[in-house]
Chain A
Amino acid sequence: MKKILASPQFWIILVIIATTASVPFTASAYQSLIFFTFIYISLASAWNLIGGYGGQISFGHSAFYGLGAYTTAILSLGTAGLPPIHPLITIPIAGIVAAIFAIVIGYPTLRLRGPYFSIATIGVGEATRLIMLNANFTGGASGLNLHVPEDIKSYAMQYYYIGLVWMIVVMFISWMVKRSRFGLGLFAINMDTDAAETLGVNTARSKIMALMLSAFLVGVCGSLYAQQIFYVESNEVFGFRYSISMVLMATIGGVGTLWGPVLGAIIYFPINDRLSTLKPIELFGQSLELTRLNLLIFGLLLIAIILGEPRGLAGIGERIWRKVRRRS
């Protein structure tokens, strides 16, 4: 314990947390932006557990996200024959529903290796979307509208802190997993599944557990999303867009690292957001509206990062650190 208190990292993190916690009072304009950044950081870190640590690249994680969102929506509205439940209570339930789904799809698909698993997850993600789009209890294509509370602003502030706390929880879990034997097993599976098996790692069980944990965390994120936007709709929450964004964030930041997904999420979400609102620049006497090029800029950014440092921003950090060390 003393060691943690003594380390400079701890204090840096504390300062960052304190700053972010003060946002609703100091910079409330960005409150919503930062809340969603929390969600995205949590999503990326959660995906990283199975995709980064475990090396099982899932393109279907939006299934868990959507299940979490719909669980909260359905339970809080009191449809599907059950009485309405307070949204906050639905949060852990949402996570559990997602985790159960992870078991259901995990058993058949986690047996697959490499790209086969990834493609299977695409199938699962899209199949889930289509099923939920057509089911009756989900409200079908019309989606579900959650109750909007009277005082939205204080509600939003409350959820800002819930989001902050949740992100810290997810990061903590990610850190714990990385240090644990379980995490070590995952890394071993990532490098060479067969070797790991011979070394005594129960690969099947580890993979399923990682997927379940990942699903639980993503499901909770979905639940928080629903409680912030008040409207869930299949094509959005089960969409391929969320799946690919999780993969993108973790990879840009650096899969398999603790802070990689965090960096990736920051690049992906707030920067993408800012790209939509750039000032037109003057070039060769013509006013060039940069927002018309937001896709292009983001694409170039992606390519630059991938080509420059395939291990993502965390890898860049590592290289800079090595150069700094060499000079000192």
Chain B
Amino acid sequence: MPPIEILSLLISAILLAGLYATMSYGLALIYGVMKIVNLSHAGFMMLGAYAAFVLISPVYGLEINPFIPPLIIVPAFFFVGMGLQRFIVRRVVGQPMITSLLLLFGLWLIIQNIAYVLFTADTRTITIPWLLQPIRFDELRISTNRTVVFAIGAITLLLLQLFMSRTMLGKAIRATATDPAAAALVGVDTERVQMISFGLGIALAGLAGALMSLVYSFDPDWGRSHLLKSFSIVVLGGLESFVGVALGSIVLALVETFSVPLGVPIALQDLMSFALLVIVLVVMPGGIMGLLQRRT
């Protein structure tokens, strides 16, 4: 394969990793802090996509610049998430995982239905012409919209990491994630931390949806297949860290992208991610981060 093609695929893989990581942060955060698997993550991604659609698409007449919606959606979803945690999710923290799982699954169903009623089942796409023009370096062509998503995803990762390591709240969140009892002992208001974490997780889901709406078509059913993949990524990365999510995304994206030129039929591309998931779990349950931490 000519080197330019390999480079092109490599860039595709990295950009794909950016998409994957963006859609998995929220899931990782909520699981890390509250040990809850947020099945409604897919629903909030879908809502984020529709929110962006309403703001950007000419259909509703608002036609805002595509960089603005995330700034609106993130805070809005943050408060929605906090409210959900305060009134509903809080009741099931600490109970067997299955309880929260099903609660959030029920929530997902409700969100889907609301979307069907508000937006009908039509497939929607956001078309911004300059985003569809590739960036060109000679022969090399790079997808613009994916680069935008990658860039915003990378910035998000950076901000999250800074938040987690530099701010008091961030440290409180990490403490609660590591050991809630110990955190409470040193004076962390675990209830408040959980509320904020959930809110942040939902906000990240909404952000993911808003960004991915630039790349993918969506309808109220959208998000399901992304959710399953996110599980794989979060586990690959080590279930409890953002950097882990990023690493997991890169590994998965590379495997999926390069398996094809290496002979794997395209139909089995998805199989790669699930096979990888099972293998990683069996061989190193701590995921990539676990592997790295064991070394140090």
Contacts and interface: CB of A to CB of B under 8 A. Distances in A.
Interface of A: 57, 108-109, 111-112, 114-116, 118-120, 122-124, 126-127, 130-131, 133-134, 240, 244, 247-248, 251-252, 255, 292-296, 298-303, 306-307, 310
Interface in B195-251: 224, 228, 231-232, 235, 239
B231 A119 contact: yes
Given A303-B103, A306-B103, A306-B106, A112 B228 contact: no
A44 to B, nearest CB: 13
A133 B266 CA distance: 13
A302 B277 contact: no
A247 B275 contact: no
B268 interface: yes
B88 interface: yes
B275 A303 contact: no
A307 B91 contact: yes
Interface of B is mostly: helix
Interface in B59-101: 88, 91-92, 95-99, 101
A240 B231 CA distance: 14
A123 B274 contact: yes
A120 B279 CA distance: 9
22 contacts: A112-B281, A114-B97, A115-B37, A115-B97, A115-B239, A116-B285, A119-B277, A119-B281, A122-B274, A131-B271, A244-B105, A247-B102, A292-B113, A292-B116, A293-B117, A298-B109, A299-B107, A299-B108, A300-B110, A303-B88, A303-B106, A303-B107
What is the size category of the interface that chain B forms with chain A?
35 or more
A118 B105 CA distance: 16
A110 to B, nearest CB: 10
A108 B98 CA distance: 22
Contact of B277 (A114, A120, A247, A292): A120
Given A57-B98, A115-B97, A310-B99, A295 B116 contact: yes
B270 interface: yes
Given A119-B235, A252-B102, A296 B282 contact: no
B105 A302 contact: yes
B265 interface: yes
B140 interface: no
A130 B231 contact: no
Contacts of A108: 278, 282
B1 interface: no
5 A-B pairs with the lowest CB-CB distances in the bound complex, closest first:
A302-B106, A299-B109, A296-B113, A123-B277, A295-B113
Contacts of A248: 102, 105
A134 B265 contact: yes
Contacts of B109: 295-296, 298-299, 302
A310 B92 contact: yes
Nearest to B106: A302
B228 A126 contact: yes
Contacts of B110: 295-296, 299-300, 303
Contact of A302 (B91, B103, B113): B103
A127 B271 contact: yes
Contact of A307 (B103, B270, B274): B103
A131 B267 CA distance: 10
A120 B278 contact: yes
Contacts of A296: 109-110, 113-114
Given A300-B110, A306-B106, A112 B268 contact: no
Contacts of B114: 296
B112 interface: yes
Given A119-B231, A119-B281, A299-B110, 15 more contacts: A57-B97, A108-B278, A115-B97, A116-B285, A118-B97, A119-B235, A120-B282, A247-B102, A248-B105, A252-B102, A295-B116, A299-B107, A303-B107, A307-B92, A307-B103
Contacts of A292: 113, 116-117
